[in-house]
Amino acid sequence: MIELSGVTKRYGLKTAVRELTCVIRPGLVTGFLGPNGAGKSTTMRMILGLDRPTAGRALVEGRPYALLRDPLTVVGALLEARSVHPGRTAYHHLLCLAQSNGIPRRRVGEVLDLVGLGAVGARRPKGFSLGMGQRLGIASALLGDPRILIFDEPVNGLDPEGIHWVRNLIRRLASEGRTVFVSSHLMSEMALTADHLIVIGQGQLLADTSMAGFIEENARSYTRVRSPDREKLLDALSHAGLDAAPSGAPGAEGAWELEGDRTAVVGELAAERRLVLHELGHHRASLEEAFMRLTSQSVEYQAHVGAEEG
Ligand SMILES: Nc1ncnc2c1ncn2[C@@H]1O[C@H](COP(=O)(O)OP(=O)(O)OP(=O)(O)O)[C@@H](O)[C@H]1O
């Protein structure tokens, strides 16, 4: 378990994280979302003792990271900026980490096999592809068989096969009862991976909720209907007091949308008036749209498309 209570981090006048309080529980994948500069990496660095909070406390399994004995056996992390000694092979890189953390040598071979690098352990990581580098970072995180795993943008730069592999690994780690805390800007990936979400904007907590609850609360629900008898259908809807607007969704040209789930009433109206329908369905907006909706007020750098400048 990871516990943050009133965690604040200031860099000079800039407050990167402001009074963040939340608990990241075992047995679940908790997604950590926020626009660029929201404070995600800073928060992860504070949990890992790489940055000291200006105020508040970050605890892993009930203790500050700095007080952990053999920390790699308690918490493993994959951070965005990683350093690997240029002269060491992948095997030696992991062996040095293992030896300084009281981890048996045999575990090095195990994690290399686990991440699919068993055949290239004798090679130097500087010749590795982005995906292989990412796998080596994950091997380091798993080395101490820790109960807590923190992954900052784990699928960055990976191909679809690599993304699929990371997703399955993350889900498996959580199903084994571990605490898994993952940040990603890839919303479609997060929607498939996370059970729970913590969302921050400008360093402050915006949401701490289940994935299903987040989508229920923040994603628009609507009915989409398409008919070759468009004018008659719109007339029927308007007589029934139902507002419809043209769909702006890509690939939904000619379709109309109504707020909420109105499939039953639209279907009945169409049947009554003997109108042909080519499409009628209830949709819920994606996690991406829900995220954009929630964080639109707290984006640090925003492009103003079409704004007149100068
Ligand atoms: N060492 C530092 N000195 C000064 N400001 C910093 C430092 N580290 C981070 N910041 C600032 O703190 C804020 C939060 O940064 P952080 O990297 O934690 O955000 P993030 O959510 O991880 O962003 P991204 O999604 O772009 O990785 C930003 O405004 C950043 O410029």
pTM assigned to the model: 0.85
The pair of three-digit structure tokens given for residue 240, joined into one six-digit string: 């029934």
**15 C-alpha vs ligand 1 centroid, how far in Å?**
9
The pair of three-digit structure tokens given for residue 55, joined into one six-digit string: 């105020």
Question: How far, in Å, CA of 198 to CA of 224, rounded?
Answer: 31
Question: How far, in Å, CA of 14 to CA of 20, rounded?
Answer: 15
Among 178, 145, 149, 164, smallest CA distance to 32 is for 149
Domains and CATH numbers, the chain: 2-216 (3.40.50.300), 221-284 (3.30.70)
Is the C-beta atom of 50 inside 6 A of ligand 1?
Answer: no
**13 C-alpha vs ligand 1 centroid, how far in Å?**
13
DSSP state string for 105-140 = THHHHHHHHHTT-GGGTTS-GGG--HHHHHHHHHHH
| 105 C-beta neighbours (distance < 10 Å), count | 10
Nearest CA to ligand 1 atom 11: 16
Question: How far, in Å, CA of 152 to CA of 84, rounded?
Answer: 17
Atom of ligand 1 nearest to the CA of 17: 14
Q: Which residues of 240-279 are buried (b: 16+ CB within 10 A; e: fewer)?
A: eebebeebeeeeeeebbbbeeebeeebeebbeeeebeeee
Is the C-beta atom of 42 inside 6 A of ligand 1?
Answer: yes
Torsion of CA 69, 72, 75, 80, to 10 degrees: 130
Is the C-beta atom of 201 inside 6 A of ligand 1?
Answer: no
| 12 C-beta neighbours (distance < 10 Å), count | 5
pLDDT for position 122? 80
Atom of ligand 1 nearest to the CA of 45: 18
| 203 C-beta neighbours (distance < 10 Å), count | 25
Nearest CA to ligand 1 atom 8: 42
**51 C-alpha vs ligand 1 centroid, how far in Å?**
12
| Burial class (CB within 10 angstroms; exposed 0-12, middle 13-18, buried 19+) of 220 | middle
Atom of ligand 1 nearest to the CA of 185: 25
| 181 C-beta neighbours (distance < 10 Å), count | 25
**4 C-alpha vs ligand 1 centroid, how far in Å?**
18
The pair of three-digit structure tokens given for residue 23, joined into one six-digit string: 């608990």
pLDDT in tens, the chain (310 residues): 999 999 999 999 999 999 999 999 999 999 999 999 999 999 999 999 999 999 999 999 999 999 998 899 999 999 876 667 777 899 999 999 999 888 999 999 999 999 999 888 888 888 888 888 889 999 999 999 999 999 999 988 788 888 999 999 999 999 999 999 999 888 888 999 999 999 999 999 999 999 988 888 888 899 999 999 999 999 999 999 999 999 987 888 889 999 999 999 999 999 999 999 999 999 988 888 888 888 876 665 555 544 444 3
The answer to whether 148 touches 179, Cβ cutoff 8 Å, is: yes
The pair of three-digit structure tokens given for residue 59, joined into one six-digit string: 């605890």
Residue 12, SS3?
Answer: coil
pLDDT for position 302? 57
Ligand 1 pocket, mutate which of 7, 13, 14, 150 (most atoms under 8 A from CB): 14
pLDDT for position 165? 92
Ligand 1 pocket, mutate which of 41, 187, 291 (most atoms under 8 A from CB): 41
Is the C-beta atom of 13 inside 6 A of ligand 1?
Answer: no
Is the C-beta atom of 37 inside 6 A of ligand 1?
Answer: yes
Atom of ligand 1 nearest to the CA of 12: 4
Is the C-beta atom of 76 inside 6 A of ligand 1?
Answer: no
Atom of ligand 1 nearest to the CA of 51: 1
pLDDT for position 187? 85
pLDDT for position 2? 97
Atom of ligand 1 nearest to the CA of 153: 27
Atom of ligand 1 nearest to the CA of 39: 18
